[in-house]
Structure 1
Amino acid sequence: MKNLKLIAGIVGVVLGALVAFVVPVPHGLTHAGMIVLGSIIMANIFWIFSVIPSFITGILMLASWVIFGAVDFQTSFAIFSSTTMWIIIGGLALGAAASKTGLINRIALMVMKKLPANFKGQSLAIMLAGTIISPMIPSAHPKAAMSTPIAKGISDALGYKPKSKPSSGLFMAAIWGFIVMEASFLSATAQNYAFKGLIPGKYQSVLSWGNWFVMMLPWTIVALVGGYFLIKLLFQPKEDKAVSHDFVEKQLQELGPMSRDEKITATVIAVAIIFWILGSALKLEAAIVALVGLSVLVMLKVFTADDFKNRISWSSVIFIGTVMALGNIMKTVGLTTWLYKILAPVISPILGNIWITVIVLPIIIYLLKFVVVSLISTGTLVTLCLLPFFNSMTYNPALLILIITASVNIWMLSYMDAPVITGQAAVDSSMVSRSGLAKSSLGYMIINIIGLLLCVPVWMMLGLV
């Protein structure tokens, strides 16, 4: 593995340098554009093979633009003063507070208590709990690490053997509810903000919290209902008798009564979501809502200065910021215009009709995921390739972000989805079989396209097509 990383690093540096300084500048592009193109090629190789930490690769990419004179410092690092970065920070902090106080566990367990203690009831409960919790925590890995042990506890309580069909099914119910359903809500994962931040500002305004939810509502219903029946079809045991809720009851007893900090956190998050929904009408920036919510939690000593330092993944924040910088820089140095001329014969037919787009673009992303493992890298690559076509599209380009964010999250092979790997690690790889992963991923890939197709009439009614 170390040798592979070393080889990939050398290849990345050599290819990047060749493109930036050796390859003749093609017609329609400048030397600055070649420097940025070379750095993007190097960075993606580094990201794909995890040569060095992703956020360091991103920092070096932005620094290289300044060092070699492609753009100045203010232009290169401008994204870090944007509202998108601050809502990511505020959102991560709110999610960290919800996890710290135990609010997330309590919501999940209360939902599970309401449904029968058998495979059908508890798989549905886990999926519903994940869907409810998703918009509160904008980070997939903590949700995967938290939800799969709960699923394992239920699996053990129901007497399922490791990696059996029903054990695999409960694991996939956790992944489906807590990770797959992230595409339903803007605030459910930081990568949604990252993809949104890649596109021009005039299109970003369409992707407010409330608009995102409404535009993805048909997909949400299809993904939730279709996912439940898929898991039931693939994994339900022949005998599905209900047992007692002892496991859930025991966990709730250990949590005790709802604490002051939980109540405060729940109130702050609920108010924040309401303001995010009404943000466009109130002309209130989502970042301000998140930061005021964070400030309230700190003033009431629910979230401390140490929590702010230790419970937020600052490396992820920096990585996402460096990725988001690409969209503006590519336009600044003329890369988008040049790419448009190169890719137009292939891309234009796909983007010429929204119905074709929601079928073909996800398939392209599925295929790309076999090579580009990182969810955010895949989405970034696709978005950057499509940026040059925004001005010539017959529908609002913001819709592409919805399609991309719903399509990057597949797990046909375990290495293709990092949150799934986190979930497996949290239960010592004792729950889901390889065939269970592959079958459920294939089912999702089909359900995703169906859900997106049913979103198109809603997009038309909103005047976006």
Structure 2
Amino acid sequence: MNNEKSLRSKLWQGIFCIIVGVIIWFLPVPAGISPQAWHLLAIFAATIVGFILHPLPIGAISIIACTALVILQVLKAEEALAGFSNTTIWLIVSAFMFAEGFIKTGLGKRIAYLLLAKFGTSSLRVAYVISTADFIIAPFTPSNTARGGGIIFPIVNSICSAIGANPNEKTNHRTASFFIFSSYCAVITSACIFLTGASNNALAASLSKTLFGITITWTDWFIACIVPGIILSIITPWLLYKIINPELKSTPKARELSAKKLVEMGPMSGKEKLLCGIFLCALLLWATSPIHGIDSAFVALLGLSAMLIAHIIDWDDVLHQKGAWDVLIWMGVLVNMAAYLSKLGLMDYFANAVGSSLGDTSWLIMLIVLSIVYVYAHYGLASNSAHVMALFGTFSAVLITAGAPALGVLIILGVLANSCSFLTHYGCGVTPIFFGANYMSQGQWWKIGFLISTMHIVVWLLIGLPWMKLIGFF
């Protein structure tokens, strides 16, 4: 019965997506817009609604949309498939493979346990150690679900058990709540700092290139985000410590558990050592890209090649990385549609229309207002990528047309698409994993999440924007 209801619900959701596209398709085409651009907008809008409602997996929706573009003669076949050559998308695909290496070899867990065994003497220190471990792993794990759910959460959940916490009992409940939520915050904050820390960052970078002709490199994103990101990484655990007030201040059990786990893992394997070397070389090549000129995607592909040659991962591991190939499909289709919307003049038309309606409002005031709307709109969304697809291009176009510094605005809005994840217990793919530990009620999660999201807006605008100006980004 429940399956029937679910199928019926998804059917109606799919019909609604089609209705949205049909309505836009047959509306009168505004003056100054070509019928081709308008029909492309209809398919694009239906696709976005599909990404939000999920009547089918987003990869399946993308295939349907790509097919519709050609069948309905909106784009030629070679135009509809052009997005799959996007190098930023291939950067993320390759980074997914690095994530597989970290999980398969156990290097990610080893890094976390080494730090905990040495520094995890108090509850607050445990939070900072987890944050540090996630920061180290994040450049090569562009999936919050893979990094948070596959590496960080199992470690933190084990620590909660080691201190005697249980979701159904009162013992050390606040301490477990602190560990769980601070670890979740660490995962999202790391995603803000690195272009390869989350797939939606790559989507924002791709849209920046296709819509505005602005290339955001891995190094650009890192330099722009490192200072406000570190400030948030320092402030957040301390603030949560004060708000949640864990019962345990000293945590010798965390150190004991970590030391035990390290013994169980044994000495560092040859593959782990090789992965460390590849990891460091890739970071060095990304940081020096202005000198050698190798595209960031091909640095990542070089690392993937090295992992395959060294048998750190094998080709079956690559084939089984469903998340990577899913990203390639839906991002390739979506970014390509956005690119053609820009080429056909629709984005400029919309930005100019909205800009004219706002009159002489300064771009800074507009940025503050739109950032608030942009973040809190996530109450109605459960995907950071859907958030970027729905709002990033439009909001960026309005601000850039109003005279805002393009690079600064694009990075800020790209980052805030991660920051909004704190708001709800369904904020992004990894959120239900941490919330599902059942150490925090929905009400508590939403209240604290609202506070952390608001703090992110303040820090990224008040510190992030001036920092970008100081380093010459605008």
Aligned mate of 1:234, from 236, 243, 254: 243
The aligned runs of 1:31-110 (5 Å cut-off) are 31-110=35-114
Residue matched to 1:322: 333
Aligned mate of 2:453, from 445, 448, 459: 445
Q: Does 1:373 align with 2:378?
A: no
Q: Does 1:192 align with 2:197?
A: no
Residue matched to 1:247: 257
Amino acid at match of 2:438: S
Aligned mate of 2:22, from 17, 22, 27: 17
Q: Does 1:5 align with 2:10?
A: yes
Partner secondary structure for residue 411 of structure 1: helix
Q: Distance in 2 between matches of 1:390 and 1:440?
A: 30
Partner secondary structure for residue 415 of structure 1: coil
Task: Write out per-residue CA displacement over residues 117-171 of structure 1, whole angstroms, 9 at most, x where no aligned residue.
Answer: 3322212211221122111211111112121121111112122342732211111
| Structure 1 residues 138 and 124, CA gap change in structure 2 (3 angstroms) | same
Partner secondary structure for residue 162 of structure 1: coil
Q: Does 1:279 align with 2:289?
A: yes
Q: Is the 8 A contact 1:127 1:174 kept in 2?
A: yes
Amino acid at match of 1:398: L
Partner secondary structure for residue 394 of structure 2: helix
Q: Is the 8 A contact 2:209 2:215 kept in 1?
A: no
RMSD: 2.2
Give the percent of matched residue pairs that are identical in Structure 1 and Structure 2: 21
Q: Is the 8 A contact 2:193 2:229 kept in 1?
A: yes
Aligned mate of 1:159, from 164, 175, 181: 164
Amino acid at match of 2:413: I
Q: Does 1:135 align with 2:139?
A: yes
Q: Is the 8 A contact 1:336 1:387 kept in 2?
A: no
Q: Distance in 2 between matches of 1:391 and 1:363?
A: 17
| Structure 1 residues 122 and 391, CA gap change in structure 2 (3 angstroms) | closer
Q: Is the 8 A contact 1:96 1:312 kept in 2?
A: no
Partner secondary structure for residue 160 of structure 1: coil
Q: Is the 8 A contact 1:92 1:312 kept in 2?
A: no
Aligned mate of 2:349, from 338, 353, 370: 338
Residue matched to 1:302: 312
1:312 CA displacement: 4.8
1:423 CA displacement: 3.4
Q: Is the 8 A contact 1:222 1:447 kept in 2?
A: no
Partner secondary structure for residue 423 of structure 2: coil
Q: Does 1:150 align with 2:155?
A: yes
Partner secondary structure for residue 91 of structure 1: helix
Q: Distance in 1 between matches of 2:430 and 2:34?
A: 39
1:372 CA displacement: 2.8
Partner secondary structure for residue 142 of structure 2: coil
Q: Is the 8 A contact 2:17 2:50 kept in 1?
A: yes
1:346 CA displacement: 5.4
Q: Distance in 2 between matches of 1:317 and 1:336?
A: 24
Give the unaligned 5+ runs of structure 1.
none
1:348 CA displacement: 7.1
Task: Write out per-residue CA displacement over residues 45-100 of structure 1, whole angstroms, 9 at most, x where no aligned residue.
Answer: 21111101101111222222222222212222212112112212221112211211
Residue matched to 1:221: 230
Amino acid at match of 1:4: S
Residue matched to 1:458: 467
Deviates further, 88-97 or 378-387: 378-387
Count of aligned pairs: 459
1:395 CA displacement: 4.1
| Structure 2 length-normalised TM | 0.90
| Structure 1 residues 67 and 333, CA gap change in structure 2 (3 angstroms) | farther
Q: Distance in 1 between matches of 2:246 and 2:314?
A: 46
Q: Does 1:414 align with 2:418?
A: no
Deviates further, 54-63 or 315-324: 315-324
1:388 CA displacement: 3.9
Q: Does 1:123 align with 2:127?
A: yes
Amino acid at match of 1:186: L
Q: Distance in 2 between matches of 1:405 and 1:99?
A: 27
Deviates further, 233-242 or 136-145: 233-242
Q: Is the 8 A contact 2:134 2:186 kept in 1?
A: yes
Residue matched to 1:364: 373
Q: Distance in 1 between matches of 2:64 and 2:383?
A: 19
1:371 CA displacement: 1.8
| Structure 1 residues 358 and 172, CA gap change in structure 2 (3 angstroms) | farther
Residue matched to 2:192: 183
Residue matched to 2:182: 173
Q: Distance in 2 between matches of 1:363 and 1:306?
A: 44
1:276 CA displacement: 0.6
Q: Distance in 2 between matches of 1:200 and 1:390?
A: 16
Deviates further, 267-276 or 330-339: 330-339
| Structure 1 residues 127 and 391, CA gap change in structure 2 (3 angstroms) | closer
Partner secondary structure for residue 455 of structure 2: helix
Q: Distance in 1 between matches of 2:423 and 2:72?
A: 41
Q: Distance in 2 between matches of 1:347 and 1:274?
A: 45
Q: Is the 8 A contact 2:13 2:53 kept in 1?
A: yes
| Structure 1 residues 2 and 185, CA gap change in structure 2 (3 angstroms) | same
Q: Is the 8 A contact 1:204 1:398 kept in 2?
A: no
Amino acid at match of 1:275: L
Residue matched to 2:3: none
Task: Write out per-residue CA displacement over residues 414-441 of structure 1, whole angstroms, 9 at most, x where no aligned residue.
Answer: 123221013345xxx3333323322331
